[in-house]
Structure formats: C-alpha cells, structure tokens
C-alpha cells in the first residue's frame, strides 16, 4: 500500500519507510503538496490523528502520521508534546537538536540515578477514509544520560539511555533501534493492522 506521511522531516520519513516495509511512504512535498498542521492537541494521539486526518482531507489518499516526544519524570513530564519546541519560549527561537539536548541536561543538573527516568512516546495514526481510522501508541523506558553519546539517530537520541543499559539510542545500530524504539514498536502494530486490512480486501475480491 502507498501511504502519505504527514511530515516535512526527511529523517522521520526515512525511518518510517524502513519500519513499514513493504509499504511505500511518500511525503507531501514529494508530490508538490505544501503541507502544514498546527499541533494544538493536548496529547500525542490527538496531534498524530489530527495530522493524518488533515493530510487525508488534502489528498484523499491513505495517510499516516506520528507524534512523538520525550517525557522526563524529574521535569514533570516535560518536554512531552512540546519536545520539538523545547526551549523556544526561553530562547525566543527554535533550537536545533544539540541545543535542546544541552538545555535538557542543564535542567537536570543535580538530578541523579533513578530520578533521571524518562521515556520516549510515539503515537501513530492511520486514516484510510473518513470512517476508517486507527491509532496506536507505544513507549520505550530509559534514563537521561549526563552527556550526549553516539552519532546515530536524531533529536534526543544521544541523551536517552535505553532501558537499564548504558547505551544511548544514538549508539544503537539502525536494526537495534528499530527493534526497541517507541516508533519501531508502534510501527509493527500498524503493520499488523495493514496486513489485516489487505488480507480482508483480498478475501473480499475472491
């Protein structure tokens, strides 16, 4: 199945394309579509579903969207749904990933051990028609490191220690990351949904 992906982030597109093989993933910009959506939802699910619904309305094609972020317990769950905009209210501009990571680490000075617990959250929404919508949400638990490690991944990956080990998400190979990440777990559930849908359609045609 060919799926429109509600993003302008090429890194997310590449990761989602790898996770949803054999389905084809297309960004709106690849079809000359100027896509934008204001994320005003109070949850990851609301934002993901809102983006997918909006893109479906624009294209009439099966659409998928994700909303994901980092939730740090010692910061009351921040940055949460504001992960992409973290620190912009303080600095008056959007920060790049290394800047956001430095700002996050500065806010955790003096916080040690288990108190640095955190999780990545990913909600993925799939819209096939106005009345056929599916949403899954998954997490991966971990801790915030004291400094960035690793050259892989993107966003907060270099400061997120996965599970109980001492490797950050950015130190994992792509295959390892896909296996344990919040987005990887959620994407596998979407794959199951897509396979079920396609099987039903094949049986119906027969």
Catalytic residues: 67
Query: pLDDT digit string (tens) for 77-107?
Result: 999 999 999 999 999 999 999 999 999 999 9
What is the pTM assigned to this prediction? 0.90
Q: What is the mean pLDDT of residues 132-159?
A: 95
Q: Which H or E run contains 97?
A: helix 97-107
Taking a C-beta distance cutoff of 8 angstroms, is the pair 101, 72 a contact?
no
Q: Which domains does the chain have, with CATH numbers?
A: 2-205 (3.90.950.10)
**Cα–Cα distance measured from residue 12 to residue 74, given in angstroms and rounded to the nearest whole number:** 27
**Cα–Cα distance measured from residue 140 to residue 62, given in angstroms and rounded to the nearest whole number:** 27
Query: pLDDT digit string (tens) for 4-54?
Result: 999 988 888 998 999 999 999 999 999 999 998 988 899 999 999 999 999
Local confidence band at 183 (pLDDT 50, 70, 90 cut-offs): very high
């Amino acid at each position: 199945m060919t799926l429109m992906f509600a993003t302008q982030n090429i890194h997310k597109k590449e990761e989602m394309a790898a996770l949803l093989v054999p389905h084809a993933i297309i960004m709106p910009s690849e079809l000359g579509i100027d896509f934008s959506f204001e994320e005003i939802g109070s949850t990851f699910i609301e934002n993901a579903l809102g983006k997918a619904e909006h893109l479906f309305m624009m294209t009439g094609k099966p659409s998928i969207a994700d909303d994901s972020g980092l939730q740090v317990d010692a910061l009351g769950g921040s940055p949460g749904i504001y992960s992409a905009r973290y620190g912009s209210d303080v600095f008056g501009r959007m920060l790049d990933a290394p800047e956001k990571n430095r700002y996050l680490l500065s806010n955790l000075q003096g916080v040690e051990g288990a108190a640095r617990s955190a999780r990545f959250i990913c909600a993925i929404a799939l819209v096939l028609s106005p009345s056929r919508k599916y949403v899954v949400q998954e997490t991966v638990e971990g801790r915030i490191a004291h400094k960035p490690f690793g050259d892989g991944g993107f966003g907060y990956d270099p400061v997120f220690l996965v599970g109980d080990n001492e490797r950050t998400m950015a130190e994992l190979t792509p295959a390892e990351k896909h296996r344990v990440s919040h987005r990887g777990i959620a994407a596998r559930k979407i794959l199951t949904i897509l396979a079920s849908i396609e099987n039903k359609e094949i049986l119906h045609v027969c």
